Chains A and B, each alone.
Chain A
Amino acid sequence: MKDLDSFNPFAVFFWFIITAVIAMFNLNPVIAALSFAGSLSLLLIREKRRRYGIHISALLIAAGCCLLNGFFSHNGKTVLLVINNNPITAQAFIFGLVTGVTAASVIYWFSTFSEIMTSDKIIYTLGRVSPKAALILTMSLRFIPLFIGKAKEINNSQKAMGIYKDETIVSRIRGVSRVFSAMITYATENVIITSDSMAARGYGSGRRRQYSLFSFKPRDAALMAVTAALSAVSFVSTGAGYFDFWFYPELSEINSGAGAISGYICFGILCFIPAFIEGGDRLRWRYLKSKISLSHIPEAGR
């Protein structure tokens, strides 16, 4: 039902990189607001339960940017107060705020992105560039649960033998490092078995291909084409200076020419594409569910 997850990783990756680059490297209140609204709505549409941690960290980063720039940048015309002969200006705070909102939106983008790009998709995209890195990545992702289980085993047996004491911090550190030392022994012996078995099955004797479930469907091409078209308009209006905005010495006016407006609209659509995809799917699901429960199976009810 999560529709964005079923797109080809390359298409999602392409859309994400383009949007994040435009959002991150334009310092413009409108772009920042659009990016923030798009990323937050996507996050809220996708989330199953409330996640306060990410909102707190986004808020902290936004506030941090605002305060850092407000107190350490002394450009700007409107002086609010003077500390140690250093003027604290309104423009510096607004500059910090716009940077902070951009940074917060980037946090939201990346959070959703790492949710969509699961490890198999990362391996799929990386495998084209560097099969060796992708192989190492796959193997270490498999080793992680294996080692955690093994560490628990070692820990329990140490406890059973009565060596593992955790009364003081020193003895606890000693205990942990003893478990770690045993882990390394186990892991290195395991390596020899694994690699011999790999060699026996012919690793390194030919070109390595990957197995993946991701096919490139027409809608992936459509997503990439729409992304390319919209981002081209955004890039052109960035390059033409329609998105330029000055903070110092006074805030400039937001450009409201036809070129700038079309640039903003294109970037806005770009930001909301995933929210449309996901939200539309949710709405369709709700609609179908309501039809099921109301007309077809009336006694099932709610």
Chain B
Amino acid sequence: MEAKRNPLKKFLSVFIPFFVMPSMVITGLFVFRARGMAYMIAAVTALTLIVFLCGFEKRKTGTRRLVLTAVFIALASIGRVICSPLPGVNPITAITVLAAVYLGGEAGFMIGSLSALISNIVASQGTWSAFQMLAWGIIGMVAGLLSRFLEGHRLRLCVYTFTAGAVYSLIMDIFTVIWASNTFSFDKYAAAIVTAIPFTLIYSLSNILFTFLLEKPFREKLGRIKIKYDI
């Protein structure tokens, strides 16, 4: 409703994918020949994020759902900061997925990407911020789309967060390799994966643990509030 009156966003959501993105990638590849691939991936990721955020603006979200989204972003960020002494352990994936199942894909994307942004204010922002935001956002969005299949099934949710965590780590390793050497080679990718195995394993297992522990309170409380207040 309010989005229709904002010409800047409307402009951006058409202008970026059809004009800025291709032209930036083409001129970028031409200008940064030495690191063209790394540049291309970074530019496309950052712009995709903006397009996603602009696109969500169009749909009308109820005030309650909006505030609920903010609540889970805060909870996920607190969880990540509390767990930060343990390398590889953080509850963002679990909380994002569980909340997305009840609140839908758009809220899932917002929770994943914005809790990455907020917790990185404390952890540290870096070139990986945009990748993390997009990766966690997409994990949340897919969980929201699969909500019929996932809702109320503890085992399926555990399997989903485990897979999501592993896929997330594998994708971030691709980014690491391209970032470090601008070319993608399976040797280096294998090396990066092998170095990261302990972290990936801890991360995926902690995801299962978090999902297992948090599934019941989320199901009971969000289910109740959804019925009671018709969110």
Contacts and interface: CB of A to CB of B under 8 A. Distances in A.
A147 B78 contact: yes
* Range, interface on chain B: 35 or more
B112 to A, nearest CB: 12
A199 B229 CA distance: 14
Interface in B199-231: 213-214, 216-218, 221-222, 225, 229
Contact of A136 (B69, B78, B120): B69
A139 B50 CA distance: 20
A25 B5 CA distance: 38
Contact of A111 (B5, B69, B124, B188): B124
A184 B180 CA distance: 41
Interface in B56-111: 56-57, 61-64, 66-71, 73-75, 77-78, 110
Interface stretch (A65-73, A254-262, A270-278, A291-299): A65-73
Contacts of A111: 124
A132 B66 contact: yes
Contacts of A60: none
Contact of B118 (A106, A137, A188, A239): A137
A95 B188 CA distance: 15
Contacts of A147: 74-75, 78
Interface of A is mostly: helix
Given A25-B39, A65-B180, A245-B34, A114 B71 contact: no
Contact of B64 (A143, A144, A192, A245): A192
Given A24-B38, A147-B75, A114 B125 contact: yes
A95 B110 CA distance: 39
Interface in A8-41: 21, 24-28
A118 to B, nearest CB: 9
Given A184-B221, A194-B67, A141 B118 contact: yes
Interface stretch (A156-164, A202-210, A214-222): A202-210
Contact of A177 (B126, B187, B213): B213
A191 interface: yes
A202 B28 CA distance: 45
B124 to A, nearest CB: 7
A208 B53 contact: no
A130 B9 contact: yes
A239 B29 CA distance: 9
Contacts, number: 184
B68 A207 contact: no
Contacts of B61: 132
A225 interface: no
Contacts of A27: 34-35, 182
A133 B75 contact: no
B121 interface: yes
B114 A133 contact: yes
A144 to B, nearest CB: 5
Nearest to A203: B63
A130 B57 contact: yes
* Range, interface on chain A: 35 or more
A140 B77 contact: yes
Given A110-B127, A130-B54, A198-B63, A140 B73 contact: yes
Contacts of A96: 180-181
A140 B68 contact: no
Interface string A238-262: 1101011100000000000000000
A96 B179 CA distance: 11
B71 A192 contact: no
A207 B5 CA distance: 7
Interface string B24-65: 000010111111101100100000001001101100011110
Interface of A: 21, 24-28, 64-65, 68-69, 72-73, 95-96, 99, 103, 106-107, 110-111, 113-114, 119, 122, 128-133, 135-137, 139-141, 143-144, 147-148, 151, 173, 177, 180-181, 183-185, 187-188, 190-192, 194-195, 198-199, 203-204, 206-208, 235, 238-239, 241, 243-245
Minimum-distance CB pairs A-B, first 6? A143-B74, A139-B70, A181-B217, A25-B32, A140-B73, A27-B34
Given A103-B180, A194-B67, A203-B63, 5 more contacts: A24-B38, A136-B114, A183-B75, A191-B64, A235-B31
14 contacts: A25-B28, A25-B34, A72-B187, A110-B126, A114-B121, A122-B117, A131-B2, A136-B70, A136-B73, A139-B70, A180-B217, A192-B64, A199-B63, A207-B6
Interface of B: 1-2, 5-6, 8-9, 12, 28, 30-36, 38-39, 42, 50, 53-54, 56-57, 61-64, 66-71, 73-75, 77-78, 110, 114-115, 117-118, 120-121, 124-127, 179-182, 185, 187-188, 191-192, 213-214, 216-218, 221-222, 225, 229
